[in-house]
Structure 1
Amino acid sequence: MPSSSVFAVPGGAASEGAEPSADGLLLTKFRDPLRTPPVLRPRGRGGHDELTVRLRTADVTVHSELAPVRMWTYEGSYPGPTIETVRGRRLRVVWENHLTGNMPVTAVEFGRPGGPMPDPLSNYPGTEGCREVPGVADLGPWAAVHLHGMLTGGGNDGWMENLVGPGEEQLSAYPNDQAATMLWYHDHTHHVSRFSVYAGLAGLFVCRDAQERALGLPRGGHEVPLVLSDRNFALDGSGALTGRLVHKVEMVNAKLMRAHAAPYTLVNGVVWPYLEVQPRWYRFRIVNTANSRIYRLMLLADGRPVPGAFQVIGSDQGLIDRPLPVEGALNLSPGERADVLVDFSAFRGRSVKLVNTMEGVVPGGSSTRHDLLEPDVMQFRVAGRGSAGRFTPPGRLSPAFRRSTHHDLPHGGRPRWVVLVGPGSANVPELWEMEEVERADAEGIAFPSAGVVQVEDAEGTVTTLRRTAMRYDDGNAFTVAHRGVEIWKYLNLAAAPHPMHIHLAHFQVLSRENYDVTGFDRVVRGSARPVAFLGAAELEPHELGEKDTVRVGTAGQIIPGPNGTPGELVTVAVRFPVVGRGVHHCHMLEHEQHMVRPLVVGPAAHRPAGGGHH
């Protein structure tokens, strides 16, 4: 059973500081205290640890003015319990499926001719004006648990088609031999994850080690997880909220859906909570578990952004070398994590807000067109008294971490290319795996040609790429050598950003560059002229560490028009320390079913025997 939490435990509920939410949302902001997920610690079994986690259907309270919400959960809570482990202790987890009933989510869609609505129905609760998505109500409680970011072989990774039904169990072994960090676990059922994760199947996994403990970072009541997500709810006949989960999307045409965004922000499973804090340093472990929403987080005091409020000390995969201040917003796309320090000593006796923002919108302001009806995330109530403590952020964090240099990278081989493209004939965004074409062969191609993209880099060199696969079952999977290092280049030709996640691997982001993508013919779906380099873009502090998920594309406001937003090329250096069959995919869950491709990592000597598929 869950043990007591080592994270911050909030005080009792209070109404002081509560505020009304945006019109139509019907719930009071900052009425309920932040909840901290319970902690599960494994039992020692000689040379390894063991743990059993039960998947259960439960009624979860997410707001005191809302009826309990029927959810699929881990151990009856949303988020599920935080699994806390020690680095180097191998862990075996039995994931037992005790789920009951069908999918506890009402899935609906809406749309109108003429493109997206200026104030879409997804900004508001209820299902009026929508049509039900067929088949979702009858989905049974099958599950596949993926521990996102854990370096484990393909047989233990939670392969999305290896489902377990009620009464069955998934057995997973995790080496747990990577830097102290915060991962998260969630359902990965193929084609269904956008509904199953939305139903509540997500939780945290924290690994600690002696190196982290020696830094004296805020802990206990001053270390707080912040699990971000968004949800929507049904209305009854009188217009009151019922607590039934509603997954509501706008259809731009018959098949193309806008990325999901819901109006209620939850932190640790509580809608718009508050947290009472002391006037001192805190450590926040933040993860974006939303289906598709990107959170551009700012701290506001008296309605104005607090410069440098976030000091980033870690990314997806552990501590970086030194604290780095965030100038502007902290951008987290789905699946990304950030480890940050915040000093509340300047705000004694005051309240400050954590808000979601967009470029071109005043921080704290709303934008119905961009699904930001209610920008507030949570409130911090800073005590008027109390010691600020003696903590000073360490000047040096992880002595083991270092940024990759030229000498660490592979030389002589070609990079992998993954091109992200807007809707094609199936009216869904596409992920194209590409191969470089020899210059002599490229001279014989008539441009534009479907599936052929040319890229002109900063030096004026033109590389011609030919599509080799795009659908999940196209074959010719990327096949990688165990313990190999590869350069992957993600080129986004679409208007929307995509968070890209690689299983069985970690990577460092080497560069982010802007490209003119107007040369890409969106009808033919190939280059009429090369996609051309515009300029280098800066990496954000949380992108400078070890990663497993990276945003490819501009965060924040998307400029209207087919070519309004510059394309982006993100280059990463990927390491493959484990073997097996996995996937790489977009972590927008509404895109995961069609922007996903298999990935195989095998011993180097085995590759020729398998044909060396590339």
Structure 2
Amino acid sequence: MSGGGRMRRRAFLGVLGGVGAGVAGLAVAGRAEHSGQLLASELPLPKPFTVPLPVPAVARPVSPGRYEVTQRPARVEIVPGTTTEVWGYGGTFPGPTFELRRGSPATITVRNELPVPTSTHLHGGVTPPDSDGYPTDLVVPAGYTGHDHAHGGTHHPVVKDYRYPVEQRAATLWYHDHRMDFTAPQVWRGLAGFALVRDEEEDALPLPGGERELPLMICDRAFGADGSFRYPAAHDPDYMEGVEGDVILVNGAPWPVAEVSATRHRLRLLNASNARRYRLRLAPGGRFTQIGGDAGLLAAPVVHDEITIAPGERFDVVVDFSAYPIGSAVTLVNALAEGSAGNVMRFVVARGAPDDSAVPSALSRPPSRPSPVATRRFDFRRSETAWTINGRPYSPGVPLARPRLGTAEVWRFSSDFHHPVHVHLAHFLVLARGGRAPSATDAGWKDTVDVRPYEVVDVLARFDGYRGRYMLHCHNLEHEDMAMMADFDVI
């Protein structure tokens, strides 16, 4: 292909040589990596580490086990000195955090006051198919006359109840829009938030909590000269490989700063970017103690000097800020980027404090590893006109697999580019990368796995919970919108 529709060699190869950007007065060694095409902001970038870290409000139930939230436009200050229209759950970006508890079912009533249809997916949730956020199961605003009916599906006028049994282990989940063909621009505008599941097993651990537990939604955006979110026209072939912005937001704030005590803090890391991957490090040095992944606590903690996190993935980590002198500035950096995207946020160790938290050597008893009953292959690859799975662009209602409820299968993912593969309903263990042992950051039960260019990743997927129609897809949201999705039926 030629012109704008050509996949750029630079982005396709995914890696560029270069010298890391200076961060916190230090040179961070690294290589710039692009898993999308950069979209630059049109306004001067704000100065890093000047905006306080916001923490999303916790949603309050309107009655036991029942919540109501309205998707609506709102104007908020993201870049200091200007305002941005967001599309938010509750009119905020991120949306409110839903605190859920294992064994306590929840119903969330979503009202759509946006100008477009939506479909809310609880990412990582074990949910019935009618509450999973299937891309053609839409909540349609009043008076909407668009063409979404061309895909068929179900249309709910203005309001839909999403019912979540919450029969799953404590974990960091998140929710976001999942509308057919338009997930990327609608999440870009703000339709995302945290959902935290807790349980008695986690309660029994002496982990940091309260204000020392921070959910951190990391994403990138680009801004127009008037402060609006900048995004390409729908399905722009120049951005077929994905959209990367030049402003890094954490909980909706650009390169924020958080004052912390010299104690352990629990950081729930979420990559909510459309396409950008991050290799997170602490400068001027430090370590992450990973206690959980996508689908819950690990059996035992794993220590990392750095964490590579792809779109959709979560890492539950503890950082001990007592390792730094009072007054220290500790910067969370991204070693995969240069320039503005090389910084994420900063912690300032402002004061000493007592700390009775700890990270035990044994964290949990995860589900046992089942024996697989089948092996299937899913090849994620670009065709001349679309991103495909097994050579097919997405066709709603046409399943590529029919696993049986209560069984496990080996699913082999292969790729031609950076494809973070997400499986709805089924949690999985990473078995191998390229026939070798998985990475240390692949530990635990997951729902999203980072499949790199020309890599083969084997996972053991467990199909528990419900029968019905679910999906797997690339969580590069532009790839998803350009047909890199597939259905599977749990029978």
Say whether the fold is shared (TM-score over 0.5).
Answer: yes
Distance 1:256 1:231 in 2: 14
TM-score (norm 2): 0.84
What's the offset of the Cα at 1:539?
Answer: 1.6
Aligned partner of 1:318 in structure 2 is 296
RMSD of the alignment, in Å? Answer: 2.4
Query: CA 1:153–1:569 in structure 2 vs 1: closer, same or farther (change >3 Å)?
Result: same
Residues 1:345 and 2:322 are matched in the alignment: yes
The partner residue of 2:486 within 594, 597, 600 is: 597
Distance 1:197 1:546 in 2: 25
Give CA deviations for 1:398-450 in whole Å, capped at 9, x if unaligned. 1x21562xxx222xx541100122x3221x43321xxxxxxxxxxxxxxxxxx
* Matched position secondary structure for 1:163: strand
Residues 1:424 and 2:355 are matched in the alignment: no
Aligned partner of 1:587 in structure 2 is 475
Aligned partner of 1:517 in structure 2 is none
The partner residue of 2:98 within 53, 73, 83 is: 83
Distance 1:24 1:69 in 2: 12
Counterpart of 1:539, as a letter, is S
Task: Calculate percent identity across the aligned residue pairs.
Answer: 35
Residues 1:540 and 2:405 are matched in the alignment: no
Aligned partner of 1:382 in structure 2 is 349
Counterpart of 1:591, as a letter, is H
TM-score (norm 1): 0.67
Query: CA 1:75–1:512 in structure 2 vs 1: closer, same or farther (change >3 Å)?
Result: same
Query: CA 1:482–1:330 in structure 2 vs 1: closer, same or farther (change >3 Å)?
Result: same
Distance 1:210 1:486 in 2: 29
Distance 2:45 2:190 in 1: 22
The partner residue of 2:53 within 7, 10, 34 is: 34
Query: CA 1:283–1:149 in structure 2 vs 1: closer, same or farther (change >3 Å)?
Result: same
Counterpart of 1:409, as a letter, is S
Query: CA 1:280–1:261 in structure 2 vs 1: closer, same or farther (change >3 Å)?
Result: same
Matches within 5 A, 1:86-485: 86-99=101-114, 140-167=115-142, 168-235=158-225, 242-248=226-232, 257-301=240-284, 305-306=285-286, 309-327=287-305, 329-347=306-324, 348-358=326-336, 367=338, 373-383=340-350, 385-398=351-364, 400-401=365-366, 404=369, 408-410=370-372, 413-421=373-381, 423-426=382-385, 428-432=386-390, 469-472=392-395, 475-485=398-408
Taking CA–CA contacts closer than 8 Å with sequence separation of 6 or more, which of the two structures ends up with the larger relative contact order? 2
What's the offset of the Cα at 1:353?
Answer: 0.5
* Matched position secondary structure for 1:177: coil
What's the offset of the Cα at 1:470?
Answer: 4.5
Matches within 5 A, 1:8-27: 25-27=44-46
Q: For the Cα contact (< 8 Å) 2:208–2:358, is it kept in 1? A: no
Distance 2:42 2:79 in 1: 17
Query: CA 1:285–1:476 in structure 2 vs 1: closer, same or farther (change >3 Å)?
Result: closer
Q: For the Cα contact (< 8 Å) 2:470–2:488, is it kept in 1? A: yes
Distance 1:424 1:311 in 2: 41
Query: CA 1:24–1:141 in structure 2 vs 1: closer, same or farther (change >3 Å)?
Result: closer
Q: For the Cα contact (< 8 Å) 1:42–1:85, is it kept in 2? A: no
Residues 1:61 and 2:77 are matched in the alignment: yes
Give CA deviations for 1:519-545 in whole Å, capped at 9, x if unaligned. xxxxxxxxxxxxxxxx6254233x211
The partner residue of 2:426 within 495, 502, 505 is: 505
Give CA deviations for 1:446-494 in whole Å, capped at 9, x if unaligned. xxxxxxxxxxxxxxxxxxxxx6x454259453112111211100112x1
What's the offset of the Cα at 1:43?
Answer: 5.0
* Matched position secondary structure for 1:325: strand
Distance 1:336 1:486 in 2: 21
Number of aligned residues? 435
Q: For the Cα contact (< 8 Å) 1:504–1:579, is it kept in 2? A: no
The partner residue of 2:87 within 54, 57, 72 is: 72
Q: For the Cα contact (< 8 Å) 1:223–1:284, is it kept in 2? A: yes
What's the offset of the Cα at 1:387?
Answer: 2.6
Unaligned runs of 5+ in 2: 1-23, 26-40, 143-157
Unaligned runs of 5+ in 1: 1-16, 100-139, 236-241, 359-365, 433-466, 514-534, 555-566, 603-614
Query: CA 1:475–1:375 in structure 2 vs 1: closer, same or farther (change >3 Å)?
Result: same
